[in-house]
Amino acid sequence: MAEATAVSERSGISDPFEQHRQLMFGISYRMLGTVADAEDVVQETWLRWRRVDRDAVADPRGYLVRAVTRTAIDQMRRSRARREEYVGPWLPEPLLVSSDVALESSLLGESLSMAVLVMMETLSPLERAVFVLHEVFGFSFPEVAEAVDRTEQAVRQLGSRARRHVRLRRRRFEPDRRQAREITERFLAACLSGDVEALMAVLAPDVTMWADGNGHAETPRVPLHGADAIAAYFASTAGRYPQGLVVRLHEQYDGSPAAVLATPAGVFAVVVVDVAEPAAPGAPPRVTAVRAVRNPEKLGRVPAGR
């Protein structure tokens, strides 16, 4: 929190809203999971800021954080209602290091990876707000209580539940970056070729795949469970990929790889995998979760690369 403020002050920008714009975007994106919704929340906060009597605002940063948090909570509730009509699994919009959304170094980190954003989807809007403000940005519990309009005791309880829930779902094994890239490359090569044997060698037996297409793409509309089912799916789709498709590895903000599949016409998909701890000493790690984003509404800001 203090670092984000210091960065804003060093920028030389006098308008408090512009000083804290990236902080507000960072909060709203982590709460909502899509860039468009996060930008809408920041825009709505700006409209409120434009109408307020600035002389009556003793703490502009606190005011803006409260405003963006409460607006994001309302937007999150509306978004969850709309998702009842969503076709198939819903995944966060990929936000990669080389995307056209620039963030200060103080706003980066593990909480921007797709895996953690998916974990936070299981939290209630208030739990998620408390988790983002306190655990990610370091706001004190009294500050968080004021932001969400709850007592400090209630906020502490919300934070405890959120931490416990996310901690239980957090990955226990983190491969090094070289290893993670190698496994991702092997998995994608096997998918594109439809090589069942290679897929079975890289997939954990209990692997699950989620594909977000919202009806715009031919993707499974329910999660696929098990290496056999996922290998069979990719064997059936081999040869149906668009011409000129290439795979380029980018980084998520936590440093883990994200595979961008692109054609000369644009981005076709973004695929992120989780890697499981080896089943036995000396055995290779295997893919335990696959998340593929095919919804074109979530791919517009993803860099296709050269």
Q: Give the tens place of pLDDT for each residue, 278-299.
A: 777 777 889 999 999 999 999 9
What is the per-residue pLDDT for 8?
45
Q: 211 with 230: CB under 8 angstroms?
A: no
List the domain boundaries for the chain.
2-169, 177-298
Q: Is the dihedral of CA 266, 88, 208, 110 positive or negative?
A: positive
Phi, psi at residue 284, to the nearest 5°?
-75, 150
What is the per-residue pLDDT for 104?
61
How far apart are alpha carbons 32 and 128 in whole angstroms?
9
Q: What is the residue whose two structure tokens read 């969503």?
A: 86
How far apart are alpha carbons 196 and 194 in whole angstroms?
6
Find, among 6, 32, 63, the residue nearest to 298 by Cα.
32
Q: Identify the bridge partners of residue 19 per DSSP, sorted by sequence position.
A: none
CATH of the domain spanning 2-169, picked from 1.20.140.160, 1.10.10.350, 1.20.1290.10, 3.40.710.10: 1.20.140.160
CATH code for the domain defined by 177-298: 3.10.450.50
In sequence order, what E strands does 183-285 have? Answer: 203-212, 224-225, 246-251, 257-263, 266-276
Of the listed ranges 168-182, 219-233, 252-266, the least confidently predicted one is 168-182
Q: At residue 94, what is the residue type?
A: P
Mean pLDDT of the chain: 88
pTM of the model: 0.86
More confident residue, 106 or 156: 156
Q: 295 with 212: CB under 8 angstroms?
A: yes
What is the per-residue pLDDT for 58?
92
pLDDT at 4 over 90: no
What is the per-residue pLDDT for 156?
97
Q: Identify the bridge partners of residue 203 per DSSP, sorted by sequence position.
A: 287
Residue 271, exposed/middle/buried by CB under 10 A (0-12, 13-18, 19+)?
buried
Q: Please report which helix (H) or strand (E) contains residue 286, including its range.
A: strand 286-293
10 Å Cβ neighbour count for 110?
15
